[in-house]
Amino acid sequence: MDAGLAALLGAAVGSLTTLAAAVVSGRAQARAQHDQWRRQHRRDAYASYLSALHDRDVAMDAILEALRSDNPDLPDVDEKTRRFVALAREVHRAAEVVILEGPVSLTEVVSRITHASSDLSEVMRRMVESAHAGDNTRRAEDTALAAERERILYQAVKNFRLAARSVIDSTNRHNELRPERAP
């Protein structure tokens, strides 16, 4: 083989090797960028959900506080209830995004929050109706039940935070440990 042909073959092999390395590197970079994008969307969805839960829970606390009075200001309670309902809708919207962004493992955790929220809201609704009726017969019982259901809701939200953090952390670890694949 003459020197020119050998140089040409060497250059061709070098070019193909460089091209293959660029393809592998490009794929790895594209995958890393996609994973970062996905992780950021999940993080944003989880943060929005937690923020909506917080705002709704502050509104709920305001209603429960207003109902502690012997003679609650009913128009004020009704206004706070309307605010609570609007914020509850925001929680529902944010929960849908969390479910959409996934993973599926968070669906059950969100479901537990929804169930705990519903249970507490039912007690609060009954307390508002009793206040409108001027009926204090179940007040102490409902106040205690509301406190217990708030504790259950708080625990469900805490579990969501832990699960969401685990999803984000496992995505980070998975990306750090994932070996690059050849094309």
What is the structure's pLDDT at 34? Answer: 63
Q: Out of 1.20.1420, 1.10.3470, 1.20.950, 3.30.410, select the CATH number for domain 39-177.
A: 1.20.1420
What is the structure's pLDDT at 180? Answer: 43
- Mean pLDDT of all residues in 66-86: 95
Structure tokens at 177: 């440990």
Q: For residue 71, give the DSSP letter.
A: S
Residue range 25-50, pLDDT digits in tens: 667 676 777 677 788 889 999 999 99
Distance CA 114, CA 1 (A): 76
| Domain extent listing, the chain | 39-177
Half-sphere exposure of 92 (CA within 13 A, CB side): 8
- Mean pLDDT of all residues in 114-132: 96
Distance CA 176, CA 171 (A): 9
Write the CB contacts of 41 (distance below 8 Å, at least 6 apart in sequence). 101
pLDDT of residue 183 exceeding 60, the answer is: no
Which stretches of the chain are DSSP H helices?
3-67, 74-101, 105-133, 139-177
Q: Which has the closest alpha carbon to 48: 8, 101, 2? A: 101
Of the ranges 23-37, 87-101, 106-120, 158-172, which one carries the lowest mean pLDDT score?
Answer: 23-37
Cα 144 to chain centroid distance, Å, stands at 29
Residue range 135-175, pLDDT digits in tens: 999 999 999 999 999 999 999 999 999 999 999 887 655 44
Q: Which has the closest alpha carbon to 124: 75, 71, 59? A: 59
pLDDT of residue 22 exceeding 70, the answer is: no
pLDDT of residue 5 exceeding 60, the answer is: yes
